[in-house]
Amino acid sequence: KCGFTKQYAELEKIYKQYKAQGFEILGFPCNDFGGQEPGTNEEIAEFCSLNFGVTFPMFDKVKVLGDDKDSLFELLTNNSVTGKSNIKWNFEKFIIDKEGNVVDRFRSITTPDSKKITSLIEIELSK
């Protein structure tokens, strides 16, 4: 497991805090970084639910690097707002506005409940 795995709990915290205002978190597991997500989709969902109380949607594993990168991650990592840069590690976070546009991107080291992220969420929800 990844050293950032505890961020599931922080993600769940902000999900519960802002969900009633229309905020969503979408989880996309991948196994592109050191093989740290080897489980099946069902095992991953169960792990997140049992260990961190995750209730936000968890999607099937996706490729976020390479020629077979999922098209969503091509858009997230190559756009006019955040530039062109591959995902560096697990638990990168992207803020998307109500119209589906990329607003900002945060590397793994930035915790989901950081002031940088929660302030931006509040700004976007107020629009």
Catalytic choice (1, 2, 92, 94): 2
Q: How far apart are CA 102 and CA 80, in angstroms?
A: 9
Tokens 């107020």 correspond to 126
CB of 4 closer than 8 Å to CB of 90: yes
* Whether 2 is catalytic: yes
Q: How far apart are CA 55 and CA 60, in angstroms?
A: 15
Annotated active-site positions, please? Answer: 2
